[in-house]
């Protein structure tokens, strides 16, 4: 189960695709399963597979590396081999932590992906890769404002509220660190709540019984 950076090469053209994984052999299998079913996220690699067929592709391990430097080493390899250049390779992004950057999905493709993901449970590798990609990532103020604006005034349906309630029932929060508490306090300092917000908070507190507060550890 080697962890590292790998390369998939199309022999007739010499073009290459570079990726990384905590388990390279399992990742190769996933690539070819997606290619065989014509569902690979990379359209350039998918087209080449359709034209030349599976026997035209071979896989190599470029380097076995530690998990904490995996994405950085993949990014370095993409730059070294110049595989984002259409004449050289199939990579869509120079940044390994954002491999699908640059893809423009049609509405039909977005719908198909949404349907395909419903009910799907991510593998442990997918969870770890996602966590590593987000490690140290800071959301800009502009992005925060856009996210806030998108959710501001958004009405949550009763069914959604019930689903959230069920998902959080019995969940115990981990103890807050002093650093986390200090950051939260700084973020809320000087913040003025609207009268509507205050009224909602008051109604919410009245609806919570002392037993529920005790169970939540408050």
pTM of the model: 0.51
Angle between helices 124-134 and 70-81 (to 10 degrees): 80
Residues 111-170: tens digit of each pLDDT: 766 776 677 677 777 777 667 666 666 667 777 777 777 777 777 788 888 888 877 777
Phi and psi at 122, nearest 5°, equal -60, 145
Phi and psi at 79, nearest 5°, equal -70, -40
Query: Which helix (DSSP H) or strand (DSSP E) does residue 139 occupy?
Result: none
Query: Which helix (DSSP H) or strand (DSSP E) does residue 15 occupy?
Result: none
Task: Give me the domains of the chain, ranges plus CATH numbers.
Answer: 4-108 (3.40.1440.10)
**How far is it, in rounded angstroms, from Cα 7 to Cα 105?**
25
Residues 39-86: tens digit of each pLDDT: 898 989 999 999 999 999 999 999 999 998 999 999 999 999 999 999
């Amino acid at each position: 189960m080697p962890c590292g950076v790998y390369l998939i090469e199309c022999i007739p053209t010499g073009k290459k695709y570079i990726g990384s994984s905590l388990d390279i052999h399992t990742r190769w299998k996933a690539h070819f399963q997606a290619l065989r079913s014509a569902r690979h996220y990379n359209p350039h690699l998918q087209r080449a597979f359709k034209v030349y067929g599976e026997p035209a592709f071979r896989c190599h391990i470029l380097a076995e590396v530690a998990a904490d430097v995996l994405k950085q080493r993949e990014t370095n390899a993409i730059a070294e081999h110049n595989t984002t250049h259409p004449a050289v390779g199939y990579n869509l992004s120079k940044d390994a932590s954002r491999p699908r950057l640059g893809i423009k999905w049609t509405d039909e493709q977005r719908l198909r992906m949404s349907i395909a993901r419903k009910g799907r449970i991510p593998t442990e590798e997918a969870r770890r890769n996602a966590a590593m990609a987000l490690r140290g990532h800071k959301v800009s103020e502009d992005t925060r404002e856009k996210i806030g604006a998108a959710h501001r005034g958004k009405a949550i349906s009763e069914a959604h509220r019930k689903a959230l309630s069920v998902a959080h029932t019995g969940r115990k929060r981990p103890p807050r660190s002093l650093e986390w508490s200090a950051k939260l306090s700084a973020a809320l300092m000087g913040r003025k709540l609207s009268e509507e917000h205050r009224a909602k908070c008051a109604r919410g507190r009245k609806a919570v019984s002392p037993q529920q507060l005790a169970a939540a550890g408050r």
